[in-house]
Amino acid sequence: MSNNQTVGTIDKFDDYQGHQIDKLTLSNANNVSISVITLGSTLYELNVPDKEGGVRNLVLNFEHSQDYFENPFYICMGIGRVGGRIADGQLVVDGKQTQLPQNEGTTTLHGGPDGFNTQIWQGEIGKQDGNDVIIMHHLQKSEDDGFPGDMDATITYSLSDDNVVSMNFSAKSSEDTVFNPTQHTYFNLGKTSDIMSHQLKLNAIQALKLDDKKIPTKDRIDVEGTPYDFRKSKSLGDAINAMSNTKEKGFDDVFAVHPDAHNIIAELKDPDTNCSVAIESSRSGMILFTANSFTKDHMNFVRTNGVGHPHEGVAMEPMILPKPGQEKDFSEMTIKKDQSVSYAIKYHLSF
Ligand code: GAL
């Protein structure tokens, strides 16, 4: 057996409303580690070695479970059954309409009020190809979140010896239903309190035009000649500044992405630390959210000693591209009763 193994451990994180929350960690031989907490299957840390001989966490996190719920921005949480917005909470599966619980005015956002992120997952360390992996499991009941079917959901996290973090989301349901999960990771690859000096490349020539509830319309934005054009790596800060006359004052947008030959859809880099992450996904969409309204309230992030800042991190959320809200077409994310479906998201790290 090689000595390059990835090793897993389980520790108690804290207690939340009478439940013990655990933290599961994987470490490889390059001093890279990830940890995931059982609350919401939340990516808690993604540590890489830094030039000073220590480690640096590349994702936003909080010290306590409670903080994750006082903050409304799904900080690094597991998202399901469906990432993004379902207009008026009206889901249609096989021609049958279901009224889902709504959690953003009339909209069902990120799986609704009882989505994956609100659940306490069962975490264990398993084995894959001789390496330890983190396995998070949860039975998402229809009576709890209002979606059709009881869904057996598993998210498996692995870390390779060439520093690729893989997340595999798989599900099987007792009825036909929908599945379009993601991980709401916020990256900050640098040492400063925002991501304005990061560079971003996106394999996207169009974004969806959203209505005032951020629901996709049938119109598209051609990125060419607009701040949405990330086809060549460019300053994320400049692009955010170019959006300063919009209501959002930055990006909270759904891009139609074109995975390249290696299924890479996005690359984020911090020129200062030379740290980068390439995001691999074979799905057709991605939300780019640049944390425009982050303030110091309920934003007590560990990396900035308990104070939050606008644009402190950037979230890139791979998913199946949603259809225009008015079409109520969920066919691409529909999964059949007893069918096993899985989607992968990978972060290729260099530092
Ligand atoms: C994004 C969404 C934003 C915001 C953010 C965090 O996916 O588009 O509007 O809700 O998640 O909550």
- What is the secondary structure of 173-238 as a DSSP string? ESSSEE-B-EE--EE--SSSSSSTT-EEEE-EEEEEEE-TTS-EEEEEEE-TTSTT--SS-EEHHH
Q: Is residue 96 part of a domain?
A: no
Structural domain includes residue 336: no
Q: Cis before residue 220, ω within 30 degrees of 0? A: no
217 and 136 in one domain? no
Instruction: Choose one of 185, 216, 238: the last residue of a domain.
Output: 185
- Specify whether 348 is catalytic: no
**Inside any domain, residue 40:** yes
Q: How many domains does the chain have?
A: 2
Query: Quick check: helix, strand or coil at residue 239?
Result: helix
Ligand 1 site: residues with CB under 6 angstroms? 73-74, 109, 214, 252, 287, 289, 317
Q: Are residues 198 and 181 in the same domain?
A: no
Residue closest via CA to ligand 1's atom 10 equals 73
Q: What percent of the chain has pLDDT above 70?
A: 99
Is residue 184 annotated as involved in ligand binding?
Answer: yes
Q: Which domain holds residue 168?
A: 7-82+104-185
| pTM (two decimals) | 0.97
Report the CATH number that the domain containing residue 212 is assigned in CATH: 2.70.98.10
CA of 84 to the centre of ligand 1 (A): 7
Element (H, E) at 137: strand 131-140
Whether residue 152 is found in the same domain as residue 249:
no
317 assigned to active site: yes
Element (H, E) at 171: strand 164-173
To 10 degrees, the CA torsion angle through 147, 150, 152, 157? 20
Q: Mark the ranges of the chain whose per-residue pLDDT is less than 70.
A: 1-4
For residue 83, how far is its CA from the centre of ligand 1 (angstroms)?
9
Same domain, 193 and 180: no
Ramachandran angles phi, psi of 226, nearest 5° = -125, 170
Closest residue by CA, ligand 1 atom 6: 73
Domain match, 236 and 302 both:
yes
285 and 232 within one domain: yes
Q: Whose CA is nearest to atom 5 of ligand 1?
A: 73
Q: Does residue 330 sit within a domain? A: no
Residue 161 among known ligand-binding residues = no
Same domain for 163 and 231, yes or no, is no
* Rounded distance from Cα 76 to ligand 1 centre (Å): 11
Q: Which of 252, 254, 299 to mutate to test the pocket of ligand 1 (most atoms within 8 A of CB)?
A: 252
**pLDDT for position 1:** 46
Asked if the structure places residue 325 within a domain, the reply is no
Q: Residue 337 domain-assigned?
A: no
117 and 242 belong to one structural domain? no
In a domain, 234, yes or no: yes
CA atoms within 13 A on the CB side of 114: 12
pLDDT at 3: 59
Domain boundary among 123, 151, 185: 185
Same-domain status, 172 and 209: no
H helices present in 304-350, as ranges: none
Residues 60 and 209 in one domain: no
Residues 16 and 48 in one domain: yes
Both 140 and 50 in one domain: the answer is yes
